[in-house]
C-alpha cells in the first residue's frame, strides 16, 4: 500500500479540497485524511500511479508538493539533517565571505559545488583559503546578525524526538555554526568541519579529514549502528550534491528546496512546504506538532 501526500506553502494554506478529491478519485485512493486544514492531506492508493511525475509537474505550478511513498514504515526513528540552506536559510561560508569582502566570488563557488559541478572538498579548501585573516570574533557576529532558521525546523526536530526519534545535524560547514544551530533546535548531536584559528584570526585552513559527501554517509551508518536501527529507519534531508549519498541511503531522503541536479535524483522533493512538510510525510498532523 502506498500513501499520497499533498502539501502546499504554509503561509498561503491554499490546498484545494476539490483538487485532493479529484486526484484521489482518479487514482482510486481511499478516504482523504487532512493533516492540516487547507495545507496538507493524504490518502492511500494500492500502487504507485503510472503518471505520478506528470501530475507532480502540474501540481508544482499550483505550489503543491506531491509525494508517493510506501505507507508501512514511513514514521522514522532518526532524523539526519544538513544545515546550510536546510535547517538554516543561508550558507555559512558565504556569510563569512561577505564579511571578508569576497562574498560574490565565494557564493559562486558554493552554488556550483552544491549543484555537483565542482569537487566538494577542493571547493571547500579554496573557499576557506579566501577567509584567511578574518577575525575569529566575526563568526559570532555572523551567527547573531546574518543567520536565520528555516521555518519548521524546531517543530520537525522536537516532534520526532517526542516520538522517540534521534536527531543528528551533519554539515559540510563548520562546527562553530552547527553547535549553535543544534543547540537552538534540539539536535542530539552535530558533526561538521573545523575552521583553524591562530592569534584570533582564521588561518585559511580547515582541519582534516574534511567532512563531505562520504562523511555524511558514514554518519548515517555509524549512528544507526550505535542505536540498533537500520538505514530504512532514517529520514534524511538536504539540498546539495554532497547530500546525495545520505539521501539515497536513507529510508526517506528528502530534497528540500534543492538544486535541480539533486532533485533529479530524489523521489521525495519538497519545493513549497517548509520543514514541517517532513512531519506530514510521516503522517503527523499539525495538532501533533511540538511547538
Catalytic residues: 82, 84
Give the count of beta carbons closer than 10 Å to the beta carbon of residue 265.
14
Q: Which three cell numbers stand for residue 190?
A: 552535530
Q: Which three cell numbers stand for residue 45?
A: 492508493
Place of cell 507532480: 56
Distance CA 37, CA 12 (A): 11
Residue 33 phi/psi, 5° resolution?
-115, 115
**Cα dihedral across residues 189, 150, 259, 55: positive or negative:** positive
Distance CA 70, CA 196 (A): 45
Give the DSSP H/E element, type plus range, for residue 261: helix 260-263
Amino acid at each position: 500500500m502506498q500513501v499520497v501526500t499533498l502539501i502546499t506553502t504554509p503561509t498561503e494554506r491554499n490546498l484545494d479540497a476539490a483538487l485532493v478529491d479529484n486526484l484521489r478519485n482518479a487514482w482510486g485512493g481511499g478516504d482523504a485524511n487532512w493533516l492540516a486544514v487547507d495545507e496538507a492531506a493524504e490518502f492511500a492508493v494500492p500502487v504507485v500511479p503510472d503518471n505520478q511525475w506528470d501530475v507532480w509537474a502540474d501540481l508544482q505550478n499550483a505550489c503543491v508538493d506531491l509525494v508517493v511513498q510506501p505507507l508501512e514504515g514511513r514514521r522514522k526513528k532518526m532524523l539526519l539533517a544538513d544545515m546550510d540552506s536546510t535547517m538554516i536559510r543561508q550558507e555559512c561560508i558565504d556569510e563569512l565571505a561577505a564579511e571578508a569582502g569576497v562574498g560574490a566570488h565565494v557564493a559562486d563557488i558554493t552554488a556550483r559545488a552544491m549543484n555537483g559541478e565542482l569537487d566538494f572538498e577542493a571547493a571547500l579548501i579554496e573557499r576557506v583559503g579566501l577567509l584567511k585573516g578574518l577575525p575569529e570574533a566575526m563568526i559570532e557576529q555572523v551567527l547573531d546578525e546574518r543567520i536565520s532558521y528555516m521555518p519548521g525546523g524546531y517543530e520537525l526536530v522536537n516532534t520526532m524526538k517526542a516520538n522517540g526519534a534521534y536527531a543528528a545535524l551533519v554539515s559540510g560547514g563548520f562546527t562553530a555554526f552547527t553547535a549553535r544551530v543544534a543547540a537552538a533546535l534540539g539536535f542530539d548531536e552535530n558533526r561538521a568541519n573545523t575552521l583553524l584559528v591562530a592569534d584570533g584570526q582564521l588561518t585559511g585552513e580547515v582541519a582534516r579529514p574534511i567532512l563531505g559527501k562520504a562523511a555524511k554517509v558514514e554518519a548515517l551508518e555509524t549512528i544507526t549502528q550505535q542505536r540498533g536501527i537500520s538505514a530504512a529507519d532514517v529520514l534524511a534531508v538536504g539540498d546539495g550534491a554532497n547530500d546525495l549519498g545520505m539521501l539515497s541511503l536513507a529510508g526517506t531522503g528528502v530534497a528540500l528546496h534543492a538544486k535541480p541536479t539533486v532533485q533529479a535524483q530524489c523521489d521525495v522533493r519538497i519545493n513549497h512546504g517548509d520543514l514541517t512538510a517532513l512531519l506530514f510525510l510521516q503522517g503527523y498532523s499539525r495538532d501533533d506538532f511540538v511547538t
